[in-house]
Structure 1
Amino acid sequence: MTDGTPATLRVEESADRVVVTLDRPERRNAIDQRMVDELHEVCAALERDPRLLILTGAGGVFASGADIAELRERTAADARRGINATVFTRIAELPLPVIAAIDGPALGGGAELAYAADFRIGTPRLRIGNPETGLGIIAAAGALWRLPRLIGEPLAKELTLAGRILTGEEALAVHLVTALYEPEELLAGAHALADRIATNDPLATQLTKSVLHAAPHEHPHAEQEAQAVLFESPEKKRRMTEFLERRRR
């Protein structure tokens, strides 16, 4: 970074994916303004050049939450700016899928970052939840509306009102994560999932994600318009021709 401050993210790029590692070990990967700014930079790059995104954390921690030292000094005006909520929504709306690979704590803002992903995988030592009310604030960066959609309102209330923290096994049981891996295998598991997604047509994947995120009143028009685009796509014709030729063999 140009001002001499250490970066909070490690970014590894390849042709079809980007791996972003939250890397503030001295603060257990707490999300501060610097990290928010760097996540915006990642989003800008992926909006220009759509690729899959894998989010993970360094040192056996996904993200311990938002940076409390910063939060303590924030004002009503800061709350209305939606500092974390804005970048998490931008991550959720990236053209291609986002995979959160979660080891250890994903709490508060760290959990909300994970909720913004399309897929969540974890390890048995994962701990995820929203203890914000214990600090005198609410989970205002997406948990209060994303989490009920992901796990249902009753359990979401346990996490956000009663401060329950889910273990890896509990998160798997309620489908908040879709798979558990040993810590040393977590990133390989994320790449295996990305490999499966990457075999599909990127445009069809982008439009599927877009329609999944469409508001209820936009259906079925959203599906019809997306399919109309794909029906004219050369990639659709190529893939279907290959399918038919394989079946003839």
Structure 2
Amino acid sequence: MDVNGGSPGGPGGPGDLAPSDSLASLDARIADCRACPRLVAWREEVARTKRAAFADQTYWGRPVPGFGPADARLLIVGLAPAAHGANRTGRMFTGDRSGDVLYRALHDVGLASRPTAVSADDGLELYGVRITSPVHCAPPANRPTPAERDTCRTWLVRELELLRPTLRAVVVLGGFGWQAAMPAFAAAGLPVPRPRPAFGHGARVVLGDVTVLGCFHVSQRNTFTGLLTPRMLRDVLRTAAETAGLPHAG
């Protein structure tokens, strides 16, 4: 039971999704979810207290839905919104350093209209690409619990189902995202082998007509230490674009 009396299976949670839901209506329902009490309390506390640099801004402070067209051929799966990034702006990977790296790379390979993402109304467009995450609320210490991950999975499953007519490639950022995404792929009807494929940068798994690629997460820890370089990220995105049949920059 959540703080407003809802639950994963009731109003405000992911348990009663109708097969006819459109991606737009799914996004709206995600933004209203209150299924996980700890995440609700944290995201709203962050939105109240704010970071000093953003003290004059109104935080989104809600679950962050996916971003990108409903007929995307390529899906990028992250981890969860950052407390002062997407939890502030209301758009995936927007307003933080991880997003700076990701959107620069997307722009470099011709999949985004601009190299920066600062706010939900900055005019940024993605070309054939959608970005989502297995957990839609900012978690304390960037660590959702297994129960929170599993509760949120229903949203990802439905998103995958709605994208299936056009979806041809998925880039999963990081081991957590990989572990969370594989059961969602299976629940959405993709033929995930057993044992489940292991995560690795450059890992490639063909699930029917969808190819899944692994990539180190665009976290500051990975990019500052050089574990993930801009070139490595661009290479994965180019491979994904080619696999998805999307025009891209060479």
TM-score, scaled to structure 1: 0.29
- From the two aligned structures, give the one with the greater helix fraction: 1
- Structure with larger RCO (C-alpha < 8 A, sep 6+): 2
Q: TM-score, normalised by structure 2?
A: 0.29
Select the structure of larger CA radius of gyration.
Answer: 1
